[in-house]
Amino acid sequence: MAVVECANGHLYDTSLYAECPYCSGNMHRVDFGAGNNPASASEVGATVAPAGYNRARRQDSEQDLGKTVAVYQKNLVREPVTGWLVCIEGVEKGRDYRILAKNNSIGRSEAMDICVKGDMAVSRENHARIAYDGKNNRFYLIPAENTNGVYVNDEPVYAPRQLKEGDIMELGESKFVFVPFCGDTFNWQDGLVQGE
């Protein structure tokens, strides 16, 4: 058995797989037959694991073939929360949505940063965006060009508009209250700002 590590850090057995089964999506065993060996570790951009490599881990991996395995990044960088939208009317009433320190896309799709699942009047993707400007510590609502309608405090929004605490935002058949976390008393760059 020759365990190698692919360029993406996955360990796999070259006697069972011609290429990394995690990267290729091919979790089926390969029978190479007599004298028909897979490419060498150097040809696939992999490094051979040292002799005596954690055998228990390899056995666990072989038992888990075909099962979903979680992969964790060591240095995961998390975008900090800068505020929230709280749904006060509509199918998601009572739910809150985190606004991160970036451009937050809003839509029904789970690929959106703010996913409003049940409201069919909200566009599937990019109904609108909420952008946090960390330099000036401000929030902006940016409607999409072909939107189903965006309103703030009952007024239509056709261009980027600055959001203020307590603004009522209407998308589709849902209404949300804007609640900033970053503002005059706190921001991620300076921390907690003490009053004078």
The whole-number pLDDT of residue 51 equals 46
Confidence at 34, pLDDT banded by 50, 70, 90 = very low
**Among 118-122, 130-134, 175-179, the range of highest mean pLDDT:** 175-179
Least confident of 60-74, 84-98, 121-135: 60-74
Domain ranges of the chain: 1-71, 81-187
Confidence at 67, pLDDT banded by 50, 70, 90 = low
Bridge partners of 142, per DSSP, are 129
- Distances in Å between the alpha carbon of 145 and those of 83, 123, 142? 25, 11, 9
If DSSP codes are grouped into helix, strand and coil, which group holds residue 177? strand
Confidence at 45, pLDDT banded by 50, 70, 90 = very low
CATH of 81-187, one of 3.40.470.10, 1.20.120.420, 3.90.1170.50, 2.60.200.20: 2.60.200.20
| CA angle (131, 113, 100) in 5-degree steps | 50
Share of the chain above pLDDT 90, in %: 47
Q: How many CA atoms lie within 13 A of 75 on its CB side?
A: 0
Confidence at 79, pLDDT banded by 50, 70, 90 = confident
The pLDDT tens digits for 134-152 are 888 999 999 987 667 899 9
The whole-number pLDDT of residue 55 equals 46
94 pLDDT above the threshold of 80: yes
Section 120-126 average pLDDT: 93
CA distance 113 to 47: 37
CA distance 187 to 182: 5
Q: Which residue in 2, 54, 44, 47 sits closest to 24, CA to CA? A: 44
85 pLDDT above the threshold of 70: yes
